[in-house]
């Protein structure tokens, strides 16, 4: 079985990067991190409003590996529905190119003001699983896959 954890990490922001200091009980070898709060750029302001000193993340560990994590006051177990709700706010589906050659050919036609065929228009439809561009997985799909792999 798996446990889902919400971890509060100290955050240091510079003009070039973000550095994280994790609680001492955090063991990167035993946790699968699924999402940081600022994976969604819209959430950056909330972190700044809190003083830009910490950020939350969601991770999954095996039940047997959880007790040392849960000693920390900065790491708490959360249930599946809460994780799904939080993660869905932190990670948004984005278009993902699955056939770069097909998409490049279509782009070349657009640049050259050539009309696109029905098949080429379908190749740009993210709802069409046969297209050259699809949607990335939802947070819930990612969470379910990690839990299944750990179980």
Helix (H) / strand (E) containing 102: helix 100-111
Residue 75 pLDDT class (50, 70, 90 cuts): very high
Residue 126 has pLDDT above 90, yes or no: no
Residue 93 has pLDDT above 90, yes or no: no
Range of the domain at 101: 95-135
Same domain for 61 and 110, yes or no, is no
Question: Is 109:120 a contact under the CB 8 Å cutoff?
Answer: yes
Same domain for 142 and 71, yes or no, is yes
Same domain for 32 and 68, yes or no, is yes
Residue 151 has pLDDT above 80, yes or no: no
SS (H, E, C) 13-48: ECCCCEEEECCCCCCCCCCEEEEEHHHCHHHHHHHH
Helix (H) / strand (E) containing 76: strand 75-78
- Looking at the chain, the whole-number percentage of residues with pLDDT higher than 90 is 65
Same domain for 28 and 84, yes or no, is yes
Same domain for 103 and 69, yes or no, is no
Same domain for 89 and 126, yes or no, is no
Residue 24 has pLDDT above 90, yes or no: yes
Residue 61 pLDDT class (50, 70, 90 cuts): very high
Residue 145 pLDDT class (50, 70, 90 cuts): very high
Does this model's pTM top 0.75? My answer is yes
- The closest of 95, 83, 90, 93 to 40, measured between CA atoms, is 90
Q: How far apart are CA 75 and CA 96, in angstroms?
A: 33
Residue 134 has pLDDT above 90, yes or no: no
Residue 130 has pLDDT above 80, yes or no: no
Residue 147 has pLDDT above 80, yes or no: yes
Same domain for 38 and 85, yes or no, is yes
Same domain for 56 and 118, yes or no, is no
Same domain for 58 and 6, yes or no, is yes
End-to-end CA distance of the chain: 5
pLDDT at 64 (0 to 100): 95
Same domain for 103 and 57, yes or no, is no
Same domain for 100 and 124, yes or no, is yes
- The closest of 46, 48, 54 to 19, measured between CA atoms, is 54
Same domain for 76 and 129, yes or no, is no
Q: How far apart are CA 52 and CA 136, in angstroms?
A: 29
Q: How many domains does the chain have?
A: 2
Question: Is 69:61 a contact under the CB 8 Å cutoff?
Answer: yes
Mean pLDDT, rounded, for 67-89: 96
pLDDT at 20 (0 to 100): 93
């Amino acid at each position: 079985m798996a446990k889902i954890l919400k971890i509060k990490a100290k955050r240091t922001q510079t003009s070039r990067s973000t550095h994280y200091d994790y609680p001492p009980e955090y063991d990167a070898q035993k946790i699968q991190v699924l999402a940081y709060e600022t994976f969604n750029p819209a959430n950056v302001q909330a972190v700044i409003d809190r003083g830009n000193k910490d950020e939350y993340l969601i991770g999954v560990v095996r039940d047997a590996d959880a007790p040392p994590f849960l000693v920390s006051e900065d790491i708490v177990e959360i249930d599946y529905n809460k994780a799904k709700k939080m993660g869905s706010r932190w990670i948004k589906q984005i278009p993902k190119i699955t056939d770069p050659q097909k998409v490049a050919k279509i782009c070349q036609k657009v640049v050259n003001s050539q009309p696109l065929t029905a098949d080429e228009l379908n190749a740009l439809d993210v709802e069409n699983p046969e297209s050259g561009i699809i949607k990335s997985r939802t947070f819930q799909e990612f969470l379910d896959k990690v839990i299944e792999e750990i179980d």
